[in-house]
Amino acid sequence: MGFNGKILKKIREQKGVTQMQLCHAINLDQSSYSKYERTIVKNPPAEKVKVIADYLGVPYETFFAEIEEDKSVFDIDVPKRVDVHVHVKIDWGLG
């Protein structure tokens, strides 16, 4: 099963996080993110999906679940919000 943007959108909404908040927190432009939710981008970069999953506090695999039309994957219990702090090391080559 491929990436499922509907699941991404539903979990983000359940957490009470806007697209803008999420994009700002993970340093991703909102236009790209919107395409993930609408599954216009069918295979978003794995590293971006992992960062999104970490931010939302769900396993990476959650976004690749199959959905049966008569069942709701959206009934999963997700914590409201998890803050993720990213540390970046920059080597300026000065030393």
All domains in the chain, ordered by first residue? 5-64 (1.10.260.40)
Average pLDDT over residues 1-23: 92
Q: Please list, residue by residue across 41-76, b when 16 or more beta carbons sit within 10 angstroms of its beta carbon and e when fewer do.
A: beebeeebbebbbebbebeeebbeeeeeeeeeeeee
Question: Using 50, 70 and 90 to split pLDDT, how confident is the model at 95?
Answer: low
Average pLDDT over residues 64-90: 56
pLDDT reported for residue 71? 45
Question: Using 50, 70 and 90 to split pLDDT, how confident is the model at 83?
Answer: low
Question: Using 50, 70 and 90 to split pLDDT, how confident is the model at 86?
Answer: low
Residue 75 has pLDDT above 90, yes or no: no
